[in-house]
Amino acid sequence: MKSFAEEKKLGTLELLLTKPLSDWDVVLGKFLAAFALVLLALVPTVIYYMSVYQLGNPVGNIDSAGVWGSYIGLALLAMIFCAIGLLASSLTTNQIVSFILAAFLCF
């Protein structure tokens, strides 16, 4: 008799195998989901930009191009970190080892 964890894993595998998805679709979906989560976490920081923009003397006394360039650079760095995490996740089946490996590689 299989344990609950084995049955749940088998269910996920069956779900993936019954869908018309290639390996690239699954990997790209995992990458885009991780990247979207990072971008969603960055959205509230725009409040800081808006408040500094409005409270500056005179209003708008902030290097907007520098701020948005930094956001683009941060998004590109997040893409690299997501890719490294995905690589570490593909190298091992253990989530803890994968996290430690990804943290080491990102460092």
Long-range Cβ contacts of 50-53 (<8 Å, 24+ apart):
none
- pTM, entire model: 0.80
Where are the strands (E) in the chain, listed by range?
Answer: none
Q: Which residues contact 90 (CB under 8 A, 6 or more apart)?
A: 27
Confidence of residue 13 (pLDDT cuts 50, 70, 90): confident
CA 98/CA 7 separation, integer angstroms: 23
4-13, 55-64, 80-89: least confidently modelled range:
4-13
What does the domain layout of the chain look like in residue ranges? 23-106
Query: How do residues 36-45 score in pLDDT, each as one tens digit?
Result: 999 999 999 9
56: left (phi over 0), alpha (psi -120 to 50) or beta: beta
